Every structure is written in structure tokens, then in C-alpha cells.
Copies of this chain bind each other. A is one copy, B any other.
Amino acid sequence: AVNGSRLWQSLMDMAQIGATPKGGVCRLALTDLDKQGRDLFVRWCEEAGCTISVDKMGNIFARRPGRDDSLPPVIMGSHLDSQPTGGKYDGVYGVLAGLEVVRSLNDMNYVTEAPVEVAVWTNEEGSRFAPAMVSSGVFAGVFDLDYGLSRADLDGKTMGEELARIGYAGDQEVGGRKVGAYFEAHIEQGPILEVEGKTIGVVTDCQGQRWYEITFTGQEAHAGPTPMVRRKDALLGAARVVDAVNRIGMKYGPLACATVGLMQIHPNSRNVIPGRVFFTVDFRHPDDGILKAMDGELRAEVERIAGEIGLETEFQQIWYYAPIKFDESCVAAVRKGVERTGHSFRDIVSGAGHDACYLSKVAPTAMVFIPCIDGISHNEVEETTPEWSTAGCEVLLHAVLDRANA
């Protein structure tokens, strides 16, 4: 019922924009390349007969009218921004699977009862601007618009400025409208489906997350004549926290995840004892109580380590959301879609955050996962197969029809 090779070709075409030497993509949110990706998506949607609107967070909605266009739309979507060394599918798959559903409905001259939309959410990755999923968060009323537009990258450029610069500061209010249902297709980004030989993951839950920003300030001094015992080495402190974060992750395993992904060392000179280090911590767990326990251990470790070296600490939890349960009827619609298409499946908990997490606050929501090779994502070698890609899109189509004709 869907054209899998057309979908695959679109994935490959989009992957040209920001293509990296190792087969991945670098298309950071609100860069010129992000604009190119958005422009291509908009052109494709217009060619498919959709009407485009853009909201003040730069979220794009491509609408295919329903028989009763006053009904709340069923929205499919995900994001087009990537990590600095990201893959071809993370986010893009959910957007283009949505487009393929529209194209397939067109091929069949099928008119849904309710309108169907394909959404592109701005800055899902949280790499250039933290936190992740910020624009779907504004749409869902979790963040206010000012907060969203004032998120700044490490050079101090804000999302508001960058949206205006690339011409995607839309005029539509963000959110505040009724959504019939939201479905997001995505690569799993973990190893479970592939290991168990299942084609489809029916996503029932999403683990909770806490993100932190920590700055240690010690004292810059000469690496030569400064005795070890007189030092206040901010990097030594940060290093010990990296190790502690790993210990906390292992302790609450196998479901806990704990990562330091970003670190900036000041002044970053070979023969200077680092005086200041800024770094981030990313904690995840499907159980909110455990996530809270991890939080407590991190705070204690940071305090202990700063104390033993004599560092000043700025510590901020900059993002938190509790584990999320998706809507039972939407999950059932996905499961029905799997049954109709006959693909193998299992229920699964998402380890990554997705725009669906925030959409679930304002709309009945569910997700469809397909496997990715070796569970690898946020890496240029991220890969899936045309067969899995087609299967996920078929399930998405059925789930959408289930809700758009309800």
C-alpha cells in the first residue's frame, strides 16, 4: 500500500544535504543546511498538494485536507535536524514516512475523514541548542514561547535569531489547537529489535531524562612550577565526575543510562592547569524514582569531588521530564496496523526522547520503531534497511487511517 522505494529514494535525497564523508549527515538545527532540508521538504509537500504553515518556533505543518476539514488533524512527524556527526534516518525517517503516507493516499485517491498533517519539529536533537525537543515542547505548552526562542548555542546565538535568519520564523501561534492523534515513526536507535529479529517496535513508554550543566572553577596555573598539592585543577574534578557518572549508570543498570557528552576546557593549553571546565550530564531511566536516586547521587558526588580539590561549583539541572506512557488507543492502533501488515513485532520502551513525548501531553500519541543496524545512532554509520523502512511506513499508514477515519 506504500511505495517503499520512493520513500527510500527521498531518504537518500534528503541525506545529500549536509552529507559527511563517512556516510552520515551534519545538519545542525537552524543552520543554512537545515534551511535547505526544510526547503526540500516543503517543495515535496507542495508537489503532493499539501498546504504549508509555519509557526513561531519554526515548526512546519504540511496539511492534506480531510473530508471534514473541521475535524482535528491526525499528525505524523519528527525532525530534520541532526547531530554534528549524525545519521541519515534519525528524525528524517519519521518525517519522510509521513510524507510517503500522504503520497500513498494521493496515489489511491483516498480521502480521510479528518485532515492529515506532516510535521517537522524544530531542534529536536538538543545538540546545537539545549534542551532537546524544545519546539514540540512549546507546541505542547510545556515551555513558553520566550523560553523556546531564547535558547542559545555555545556562541550565544538564539533560536529566535537563527529562525529569522533562515526565514523560518513563521507567523502561526505555537500549539493551542486540537490534535486528533499524533504518530511518530523512528529508528529504534538501540539494539533490541535487531537482536530479537523483530521488524516493528510498538512503543508503549519513553524513559525519563534529566540533563545537567556543571561548571567547575579552580585556578589556572603553570603546569611546571606549581606543586601538585597547591593545585585546583578543574579538569581533574570534571574527570572524576565523568567516572562517577559512569559508576552511577552501571549501578542502576541495565536500564539506566548516564553520559557526559560535552566538555569545554578553559584555557585548554597544554602547559596550563585548567582553571574552568564546563560539562553536561545526561541521565535516563524508565522509572522516575530511580532517576531521582541517580540525581541524588550525582549531586553528592559533585559536591564531594569539588570539596576534595577545592573547586567552586555551578550546578544546574536544565531539563527534566518524567517517564512517559503513550495513549492506549493509539498504541492499539499501531498494534492493529502491525497485525494487518503481518510484520513481526514486540512492545518496546524508547531510550531516546522524541517529539512524541511532548505531543503526548496534548494529543493521544504513539510511536512506531523500526530496527537500525547494530543499534547504532548519533553516528555517521547509522543504518537501516529499505525493507524495515517500508514496513514501518505501512504500519504508520494503517495507524493513521485507523484514527483519521474514526
Q: Which of A54-62, A159-167, A375-383 contacts B (4 or more CB under 8 A)?
A: A375-383
Partner of A253, one of B211, B229, B238, B271: B229
Q: Is A207 part of the contact surface with B, judged by Cβ < 8 Å?
A: yes
Chain B residue numbers with a CB within 8 Å of A273 are 259, 261, 378
Q: Would A376 and B221 count as touching, CB distance under 8 A?
A: yes
Q: Is A300 part of the contact surface with B, judged by Cβ < 8 Å?
A: no
Q: Would A233 and B246 count as touching, CB distance under 8 A?
A: yes
Q: Would A259 and B223 count as touching, CB distance under 8 A?
A: yes
Complex Cα distance, B257 from A335, in Å, reads 62
Q: Would B254 and A228 count as touching, CB distance under 8 A?
A: yes
Q: Would B220 and A275 count as touching, CB distance under 8 A?
A: no
Chain A, residues 192-235, CB within 8 Å of chain B (1/0): the string is: 00000000000000010101000000011111111111100101
Q: Which of A40-48, A103-111, A346-354 contacts B (4 or more CB under 8 A)?
A: A346-354
Closest CB-CB distance, A128 to chain B, in whole Å? Answer: 9
Chain B residue numbers with a CB within 8 Å of A274 are 260-261
Partner of A242, one of B209, B227, B239, B379: B239
Closest CB-CB distance, A351 to chain B, in whole Å? Answer: 3
Main secondary structure of the interface of A (DSSP, over half): loop
Q: How many chain copies?
A: 2
Chain B residue numbers with a CB within 8 Å of A260 are 235-236, 239, 274
Q: Is A172 part of the contact surface with B, judged by Cβ < 8 Å?
A: no
Closest CB-CB distance, A220 to chain B, in whole Å? Answer: 4
Q: Is A386 part of the contact surface with B, judged by Cβ < 8 Å?
A: no
Complex Cα distance, B262 from A268, in Å, reads 4
Q: Is A265 part of the contact surface with B, judged by Cβ < 8 Å?
A: yes
Q: Is A123 part of the contact surface with B, judged by Cβ < 8 Å?
A: no
Partner of A189, one of B225, B233, B249, B269: B225
Closest CB-CB distance, A287 to chain B, in whole Å? Answer: 15
Chain A, residues 168-201, CB within 8 Å of chain B (1/0): the string is: 0000000000000000000011110000000000
Residue of B nearest to A188 (CB): B225
Q: Would A230 and B282 count as touching, CB distance under 8 A?
A: no
Closest CB-CB distance, A104 to chain B, in whole Å? Answer: 29
Q: Would B235 and A249 count as touching, CB distance under 8 A?
A: no
Q: Is A112 part of the contact surface with B, judged by Cβ < 8 Å?
A: no
Q: Would B271 and A261 count as touching, CB distance under 8 A?
A: yes
Residue of B nearest to A319 (CB): B270
Q: Would B254 and A261 count as touching, CB distance under 8 A?
A: no
Chain B residue numbers with a CB within 8 Å of A52 are none
Chain A, residues 306-347, CB within 8 Å of chain B (1/0): the string is: 000000000000000000000000000000000000000000
Closest CB-CB distance, A150 to chain B, in whole Å? Answer: 18
Complex Cα distance, B233 from A250, in Å, reads 13
Given A239-B239, A269-B127, A221 contacting B275 (CB threshold 8 A): no
Known: A127-B272, A259-B271, A271-B282. 8 other contacts (CB 8 A): A84-B269, A189-B226, A190-B224, A226-B257, A228-B254, A236-B246, A238-B239, A263-B268
Q: Would you list 7 pairs from A and B whose C-beta atoms are within 8 A, ordered by A residue?
A: A83-B271, A127-B270, A221-B377, A224-B350, A224-B353, A225-B350, A226-B351
